[in-house]
């Protein structure tokens, strides 16, 4: 009979090595044809750590990664913790110019890359040591390692750059303690079952993807890793590989359902965490009709993933809510208006140490122990959190506040609309007007007048989009967040022509 694995302790051996000591033969990682047990993965991570040591990596040094998800990347993630080095995974979808800016900011002692992204390195400083992740890395003679050191909770584990929807990305410094507290809070909410298997199809330079990898060794749960998100591959893994847990953003869930059709999902799938922004109720209900237990969540890079999450039992009764704050996390609403909406502030052990080498940005976001998120939301009488939007995305038209998420929910409730993004455009009379970009479902046909009429019965007049643009796809960050700034720029560019 399978037993529920016990979580590892707050301090002690690096997490993978502690899990391998406890459950050496238990499956740890599946990646295509590759399958490693915890002791096999620990042995490979040990070899990786010895090669990093040959490169001169020591405790506190930064190790940059420009790689797609792979077994080698998992080895390097754990090898960095074995050495006490700081992991700095960079977004592989950025341009060479953007990657150079991030690399200059983080100054890694070595940057390890896979061949697919060689062209992205053209603008890097010659001071950065570059190492190809397979053949070149494997050819490095392994060095002796220092004695296994205990995990210090206050040590920085990762520098993760924010998605940059509102400006220049910032490097959030997440400590070992941040990641450990995040895993512990998730376990308290979801539990761990004997046959659990996490499917990780999120980028590992994104906190949603990385947190699954770290949580898996802390909790002793195998991970099925995908190189990227493909709805057909995800649906197949859920049906044929015993996947019980999965994290997605709303657009990923939509693509899964579109590919799936009306076939019910297996009962073995016990939770699908959905975040990256407000999740339309229509999408939640569509998924649940097919047996997907959607669990809306709210989280940030700066909090090592989740802040609040619906429970499996209670999520269905709280339409529009992302649940209550997780264990150990406090949430308050600052400068609330008459409707109870205000800026969300978060406090707890998952909150970052600060932004790397950005003291002013750190001081602006971290005040008296609270992280001021820039997101707008409200708490109901039961303590459940509702997310409206980022403060920068708030539209003020004629003195009235318009929350894009509310207008997007009205638009996506239309049977022909697959996705919608609402944003502000300048207006000399009202200050701003509401504009929208929409994506139609396959072969659907409608027009702006019909959509405005649809909104009239659901929204106050000042909230109805005055301009509606039809697009084949919405611009998004790799973490699934809508690039409203880009939509505004495109709209202004079209107006200037």
Mean pLDDT of the chain: 90
370: three-class secondary structure by DSSP: strand
Question: 249 is written with which tokens?
Answer: 């953003």
Q: What is the mean predicted confidence (pLDDT) over 90-107? A: 88
How many Cβ atoms from other residues are within 10 Å of residue 422's Cβ? 28
Residue 167 has a pLDDT of 52
Residue 270 has pLDDT above 50, yes or no: yes
More confident residue, 312 or 156: 156
**Least confident piece of the model among 169-173, 193-197, 219-223:** 169-173
> What is the rounded average pLDDT of the residues 41-50?
98
Asked whether residue 298 carries a pLDDT value surpassing 80, the answer given is yes
Q: Which of 178-182, 295-299, 403-407, 490-494 is the least confident region?
A: 490-494
Q: Looking at the predicted structure, is the pLDDT value of residue 468 above 70?
A: yes
Q: For residue range 17-27, what is the model confidence (pLDDT) as tens digits?
A: 999 999 999 99
Which pLDDT band, with edges at 50, 70 and 90, does 250 fall under? confident
* Comparison of pLDDT for 204 and 91, the residue scoring more: 204
Map out the domains of the chain with their CATH numbers: 15-151 (3.40.50.980), 178-391 (3.40.50.12780), 394-496 (3.30.300.30)
Indicate the SS3 state at residue 428: coil
Please report, for residues 89, 99, 170, 205, 370, the alpha-carbon distance to residue 102 in angstroms, rounded to integers and kept in the order given: 10, 5, 9, 13, 26
What mean pLDDT comes out for the span 385-413?
A: 80
Could you give the CA distance from residue 296 to residue 278 in angstroms, rounded to a whole number? 8
* Rounded alpha-carbon distances, angstroms, from residue 399 to 394, 402, 424: 12, 10, 13
1 compared with 432, residue with greater pLDDT = 432
- Locate the DSSP E strands across 182-327: 198-200, 223-225, 245-249, 271-275, 294-300, 305-309, 324-325
Dump pLDDT digits (tens) for 348-357: 999 999 999 9
């Amino acid at each position: 009979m399978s037993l529920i694995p016990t979580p590892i302790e707050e301090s002690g051996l690096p997490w993978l090595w502690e899990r391998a000591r406890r459950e050496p033969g238990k499956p740890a990682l599946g990646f295509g044809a590759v399958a490693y047990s915890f002791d096999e993965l620990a042995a490979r991570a040990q070899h990786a750590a010895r090669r990093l040591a040959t490169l001169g990596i020591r405790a506190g040094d930064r190790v940059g990664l420009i790689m797609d998800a792979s077994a080698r990347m998992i080895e390097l993630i754990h090898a960095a913790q074995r050495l006490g080095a700081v992991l700095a995974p960079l977004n592989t979808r950025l341009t060479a110019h953007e990657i150079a800016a991030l690399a200059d900011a983080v100054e890694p002692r070595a940057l390890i890359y896979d061949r697919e992204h060689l062209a992205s390195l053209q603008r890097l400083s010659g001071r950065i040591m570059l190492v190809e992740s397979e053949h070149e890395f494997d050819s490095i003679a392994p060095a002796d390692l220092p004695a296994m050191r205990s995990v210090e909770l206050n040590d920085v584990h990762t520098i993760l750059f924010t998605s940059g929807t509102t400006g220049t990305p910032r490097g959030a410094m997440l400590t070992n303690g941040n990641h450990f507290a995040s895993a512990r809070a998730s376990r308290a909410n979801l539990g761990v079952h004997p046959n659990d298997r996490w499917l990780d199809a999120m980028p590992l330079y994104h906190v949603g993807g990385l947190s699954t990898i770290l949580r898996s060794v802390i909790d002793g749960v195998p991970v099925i890793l995908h190189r990227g998100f493909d709805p057909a591959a995800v649906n197949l893994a859920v049906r044929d590989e015993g996947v019980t847990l999965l994290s997605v953003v709303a657009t990923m869930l939509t693509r899964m359902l579109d590919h799936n059709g009306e076939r019910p999902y297996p009962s073995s799938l016990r939770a699908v965490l959905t975040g990256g922004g407000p999740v339309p109720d229509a999408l939640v209900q569509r998924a649940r009709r097919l047996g997907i237990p959607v669990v809306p969540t709210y989280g940030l890079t700066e909090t090592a993933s989740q802040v609040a999450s619906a429970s499996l039992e209670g999520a269905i009764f709280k339409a529009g809510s992302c649940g209550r704050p997780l264990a150990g996390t406090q949430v308050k609403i600052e400068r609330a208006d008459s409707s109870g909406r205000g800026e969300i502030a978060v406090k707890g052990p998952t909150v970052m140490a600060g932004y790397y080498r950005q003291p002013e940005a750190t001081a602006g976001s971290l005040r008296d122990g609270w992280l001021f998120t820039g997101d707008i939301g409200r708490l109901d009488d039961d303590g459940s959190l509702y997310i409206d939007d980022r403060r920068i995305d708030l539209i003020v038209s004629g003195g009235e506040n318009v929350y894009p998420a509310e207008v997007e929910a009205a638009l996506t409730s239309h049977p022909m609309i697959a996705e919608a993004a609402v944003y502000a455009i300048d207006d000399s009379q009202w200050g701003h007007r509401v504009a929208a970009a929409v994506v139609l479902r396959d072969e659907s046909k409608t027009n702006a007048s019909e959509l405005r009429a649809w909104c009239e019965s659901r929204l106050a007049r000042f909230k109805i989009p005055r301009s509606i643009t039809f697009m084949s796809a919405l611009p998004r960050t790799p973490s699934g967040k809508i690039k409203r700034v880009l939509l505004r720029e495109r709209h202004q560019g079209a107006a200037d022509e």
